[in-house]
Amino acid sequence: MLQSKLFTKTKKEVPSDEVSKNAELLIRGGFINKEMAGAYSYLPLGLRTLSKIIQIIREEMDAVGGQEITLTALQDKTTWEKTDRWSDEVVDIWFKTKLKNETELGLGFTHEEPLTKLMKEYISSYRDLPRSVYQFQTKFRNETRAKSGIMRCREFIMKDLYSFAKDEEEHKKIYEDLKEAYKRIFKRAGIGHLTYVTFASGGVFSKYSHEFQMVTGAGEDTIYVAENKGIAINKEVLTDEVLENLGVDRADLVEQRAVEVGNIFTLGTRFSEAFDLMYQTEAGEKKPVFMGSYGIGPGRLMGTIVEALSDDKGMIWPEEVAPFKVHLLLLGENATTKEEAEKVYALLEEKDIEVLFDDRTGVMAGEKFADADLLGIPYRVVVSDRSLKEGGIEVKKRTEEKGKNISVEDLISLLEAKS
């Protein structure tokens, strides 16, 4: 991609009402645009990163047997009345609207009810189980507070997977597989070292649910980390009984601020019983399907990466989610230098190495360097009069202070080794 043609523009200022670091940097870098509080558009750079995060999640969901679908955002009132979750007293984050004939509809904030209703068409026997179905779908939540950038939105994409099992034992196997899949997702996204499986309230269905909390000063939650066990406990369930159950000594806990980047829940038979989702056992008995729910917000994950890995110059994207792998900068107006930069660009493209080429003319070197730091692409490659005089091109990782001059051949070898 030629930066001169890229539909984006870096900014020095951000909306005055924006207080979160992730939104400030993503807006300044031209990754997103703020439409209103809690609603953001994704521009080309932002969409490239969001799409890569979605693909990581998709691959890990498929690896544990998930099958992808897409359900509607428009929701039928009668579906939700079966579980009493249409009531604003029970769920206070609905966006509701009406058709021209006055029929009342809602915009889905989650999808347990409609999917359970749908699965009645596909589950009737033990032979139909287990099943895991997931989607990437736009959710709408009428949040009172939306001041955390893309980490808390009123309109956002959610990956929600729902599992359907014959009994609790079968469910537990699915649940553990999903827990491990989530760990792999956060590791691949570059924040695995900061993210803890966090024990939280399991409600009426299980002793615990599990949140995946990433440690950051910008977090809204308080967790207590047991570093020696690689787990954490949410403040809401920190009791002596929980510590004893987990084999954790209170003296080993460290209080941290954190943001939830994913969660998994045991649902039990609440929804299957409400919709009469039953299956026939091998012995001919009728039993309710045992369910689970597993959520990750790709945009929220993108925002937490920025919160965790940025510095005072800008963003620092992990390689697997960066919009491009290489940011190639042309410095100087010399025809020979320009020709050499174009050759490097062509070679990188030929090798299928994703590259953003800052070919802009009339832009000072300092501005190009500042933009490169802000955008946070993993490798900065500079072709300049000076680098060519020194026998090559300058390459620097975003996390390094200084670059080094190497040959084009060595650059390709370096980048291909990291692929």
At residue 146, does pLDDT exceed 80? no
Instruction: Give the pLDDT confidence score for residue 289 in this predicted structure.
Output: 98
Q: Collapsing DSSP states into helix, strand and coil, what is residue 14? A: coil
**pLDDT value at position 13?**
82
Question: What is the rounded distance in angstroms from the CA atom of residue 184 to the CA atom of residue 57?
Answer: 9
pLDDT on residue 30: 96
Rg (CA), the chain: 25
What the block records as the tokens of 102 is 């006055």
Query: In this predicted structure, what is the pLDDT of residue 147?
Result: 75
Enter the DSSP assignment of 180. H
Rounded Cα distance between 113 and 272, Å, is 9
What percent of the chain is predicted at pLDDT more than 90?
A: 87
What is the model's pLDDT at position 411?
Answer: 93
Q: How far is Cα 394 from Cα 383, in angstroms, rounded to an integer?
A: 7
What is the reported pLDDT for 323? Answer: 98
The secondary structure of residue 212, as a DSSP letter, is: E
Kindly state the DSSP code that residue 2 receives in the 8-state scheme. B
H/E element, 225: strand 221-226
Do 61 and 67 form a contact (C-beta atoms < 8 A)? Answer: no
Distances (CA, A) of 54 to 14, 50, 299, 372, 398: 27, 6, 9, 24, 24
Euclidean distance between CA atoms 221 and 215, whole angstroms: 9
pLDDT digits (tens, 9 = 90+) for 372-400: 999 999 999 999 998 998 888 999 999 99
The predicted model gives 24-28 an average pLDDT of 95
d(CA 87, CA 64): 35
* Cα–Cα dist 199/246, whole Å: 9
CA–CA dist 114, 79 (Å, integer): 7
Tens digits of residue pLDDT in 266-294: 999 999 999 999 999 999 999 999 999 99
Q: Are 324 and 297 in contact (CB under 8 A)?
A: no
Residue 144 has pLDDT above 90, yes or no: no
- Is residue 366's pLDDT more than 90? yes
Determine the Cα–Cα distance for residues 135 and 67; give it in Å rounded to an integer.
8
- CA-based nearest residue to 320, from 300, 305, 299, 304: 305
Model confidence at 204: pLDDT above 90: no
Q: How far apart are CA 149 and CA 216, in angstroms?
A: 15
Write down the pLDDT at residue 391: 81
Spatial strand order of the sheet with 326-331 comes to 355-358, 326-331, 379-384, 393-397, 404-406
Percent of the chain with pLDDT over 70: 99
Q: What average pLDDT does range 331-335 have in this prediction?
A: 89
Interhelix angle 44-63/168-188, nearest 10 degrees: 140
**Structural domains of the chain in order of their starting residue, each with its CATH number:** 21-309 (3.30.930.10), 326-417 (3.40.50.800)
Give per-residue pLDDT as tens, 32-47. Answer: 999 998 999 999 999 9
Alpha helices in 85-167 (DSSP H): 112-119
Is it the case that residue 17 has pLDDT exceeding 90?
A: no
pLDDT given at position 205: 64
**pLDDT tens digits, 155-202:** 999 999 999 999 999 999 999 999 999 999 999 999 999 999 999 988
- Contact between 212 and 198 under an 8 Å Cβ cutoff? The reply is yes
Among 179-188, 201-210, 325-334, where is mean pLDDT lowest?
Answer: 201-210
- In the prediction, which pLDDT does 45 show? 98
> Cα-flanking dihedrals φ and ψ of residue 135, to 5°?
-150, 160
For the chain, the 3-state helix, strand and coil shares in percent, each to the nearest 5, are 35, 30, 35
Report d(CA 387, CA 272) in Å as an integer.
66
Cβ distance 108 to 137 under 8 Å?
Answer: yes
Ranges of beta strands (E only) in 86-154 are 95-98, 104-107, 131-140
CA–CA dist 229, 314 (Å, integer): 33
Beta bridge partners of 212: 197, 262
d(CA 200, CA 234): 5
Average pLDDT, the chain: 94
Predicted pLDDT of residue 418? 67
- DSSP class of residue 127 equals G
Least confident stretch, 73-77, 236-240, 318-322:
236-240
pLDDT at residue 72, rounded to an integer: 97
152: pLDDT strictly greater than 90: no
Contact 318, 301 (CB under 8 A): no
The model's confidence at residue 419, banded by pLDDT at 50, 70 and 90, is low
Q: In whole angstroms, how far apart are CA 197 and each of 170, 214, 230, 233?
A: 21, 9, 8, 8
pLDDT at res. 52: 98
The Cα 109–Cα 160 span in angstroms is 11
